[in-house]
Structure formats: C-alpha cells, structure tokens
Amino acid sequence: MKVLRLHAAGDLRLQNEPVPEPAEGEALLRVTAVGVCGSDLHWFSESGIGDARLEQPLVLGHEFAAVRVDNGQRVAVDPAIACGRCEFCLQGHPNLCPQVRFAGHGQVDGALREVLPWPVALLHPLPDALSDADGAMLEPLGVALHAVDLGHLRLGMRVGVFGCGPIGLLIVQLARLSGAVQIIATDPLPHRLEAARECGAMHLIQANHGAEAPDVWDAATRRGVDVAFEVAGENAAVETAVHAAKPGGLVVLVGIPADDRTSFSAAAARRKGLTLRLCRRMKHTYPRAIALVEGGLVDVHSLVTHRFPLEQAQRAFETAGRREGVKVMLEI
C-alpha cells in the first residue's frame, strides 16, 4: 500500500509498505479523504507541535473518512484513542486523557495512507447524504462544537471569532445557530473574511497584528462581546480577543501557537475579571456533528476549496501553508 511519511520539516516521502493486520477490536479501513489541519502544518513546517517532536518518520492526518474493508460501510473516524480507564475518561473527558493516542501525532501513524486499522468503537457510520470529504470535515466540526460548548453560548449573545480558518468558520456557523445577535469576525485574509460573511458573521474586520482591536471594540458597540473565540494561534489574536471581551466575559482559546507560548495583557484581563478556557480537541461530538451536517444546519462542503491526490501531498501541504482557500483535502 502507499504510505506518506514525514521524515523532517518539509520532507514528505511516498513509499510502499505492507498492509497492516487489524488487532482485536479493530477494523481495517480503506482511507478515502483526509483534511490538512493547522496542526498537521506545524508538524510539516516545524517537525513537531508544542512539546511533541518528530522522533521517527510519521504518517500525518487525523481528519479522515474511510470505508471498512470487512463490510463496505462508509465511516468518519474519531482520531483519538483514549485509555478509557483513567479518572478523566471515567468522568467523561477522554480528550484530557494523559494516555491518549492520537492519529498523526507523536509515534502514532495517521491517515495519509491507503489502508489502516482503527478501533471499531471510534468509527461513525456516514449517512448517504454526506460525501467522504464531508466525513473528514466532521473532525474540525467536532473541535468547533467543543469550543462552543466551552463558551456556553445562549440566545442573544454577542460573539467574536478571531481567526477564520476552517474551525473559526465553523464556530461562526454554530454561533449563528446558537442565536447570537452579533458575530464579529477578524482575519488578515480578505477571502476568509468573505467566507465568514457567507457563514453568518455580521461584522468583518481585517486583522493587522492587533491594530484592529479598537475597531472590534467599536463594532461591539463599546460594550464588548460576551464570548471571544481565538482561533488563529497568534498572540495578536489573543490580545484582540481579550480587548474585545466585555467585563466578566469569556475567552476561549482554540488556536495553537507556533512557539508554544500564549501571552496577553494581564492588566486588561484582570481588570475585566475575564474567564479563560482552553479548548483541547473534542469529546463525544461526532453524533451531533453528523446530525448538524445531515440536517443542513452546518455547511462543511463549501469549506473544502482544494482537493489533491495523495501523490500531490507536497503541493497540498504547501497550498495549505500559504493559507490559500480554506480547507485542503487529500483524496485517496
């Protein structure tokens, strides 16, 4: 089978390897679609993410859909294998499991290959109405759902979304569904701001290294937003989110910074008495994600703007790294 491995920063190699045998409780999957995520780009450009470093050639890819080899069923795949036994798993927080094994991270090979085994318990059947690419998009939608859950959105709230990549755009859609009366979106790229408008944002402000913060405050009618979602992975966006949040407001940090550091004005955050929450992947979101897409309440299809075969993975990663379009998808 064809397998794409990352050997060093920017060094992707397509090679042939034996088809693996599934273990007990696993099914063999034929991969059909894999999204290129911002965290994949960290591995690709920096040979790691946070404190996890590339120690051996790694197969990237955690946003994926596949077909079960044994019965032909199309499935979306939860990429996180939690232990199921620790206190966090038992309390319903598998995303916080210290022993979690995550596809395309550390020493766990991901989905950028033709075939892989994966636990049956983590496979979610796809309705006929969802394409394979839609199935791969359920993973970022799950992260957006978890972020919105952390934000406790209610009818009539004012919301800020700072960073309009795929997850930011999905948060815009979910904020609209949650009854937000005002959604402010920022991004440095005009085409992503236009996508935010199409997703339901009411106020669009071009990000400029934090210089846009006064404009965001004005757009929030100088009252601030109830919930600010930072989805850019940039400290300037964190500062803008803190600036935009109302006194007593909530800031949800979703983005992953390249240097593994997040900073903001402590005086502003303290003076406002802000609550900060950090989004760690997702938990128990696939059934809701599938229902939202199948019901036409969330649009994931239009966010996929570029498609490449596995043989053009280098070009796909470079395209995603330049932030062209919105979501880059590899179809296998």
**Same domain assignment for residues 244 and 310:** no
Quote the pTM value.
0.97
Q: Are residues 209 and 307 in the same domain?
A: no
Q: Total structural domains in the chain? A: 2
Residue 222 has pLDDT above 90, yes or no: no
Same-domain status, 91 and 159: no
Q: Where residue 53 sits, what CATH number does that domain have?
A: 3.90.180.10
What is the CATH classification number for the domain harbouring 274? 3.40.50.720
Please tell me the predicted confidence (pLDDT) of residue 311: 97
Q: Per the domain annotation, does 137 fall within a domain?
A: no
Q: Same structural domain for residues 176 and 271?
A: yes
User: Does 284 map to a domain?
Assistant: no
pLDDT in tens, 75-131: 999 999 999 999 999 999 999 999 999 999 999 999 999 999 999 999 999 999 999
Structure tokens at 236: 């300037």
Q: How confident is the model at residue 283 (pLDDT cuts 50, 70, 90)?
A: very high
Would 261 be classed as within a structural domain?
yes
Q: Which domain holds residue 168?
A: 143-278
Same domain, 311 and 201: no
What pLDDT is recorded for position 259? 87
18 shares a domain with 108: yes
Look at residue 138 and tell me if it is in a domain: no
Mean pLDDT for all residues in the chain: 96
Residues facing residue 14 across a β-bridge? 4
- Give the span between the Cα atoms of 130 and 293, in whole angstroms: 8
**Is residue 191 packed enough to be buried (19+ CB in 10 Å), middle (13-18) or exposed (0-12)?**
middle
Q: Are residues 104 and 154 in the same domain?
A: no
* CA angle at 273 for the pair 268 and 275, rounded to the nearest 5°: 105
> What digits encode the pLDDT tens for the residues 49-71?
988 999 999 999 999 999 999 99
93 and 59 within one domain: yes
pLDDT in tens, 123-166: 999 999 999 999 999 999 999 999 999 999 999 999 999 999 99
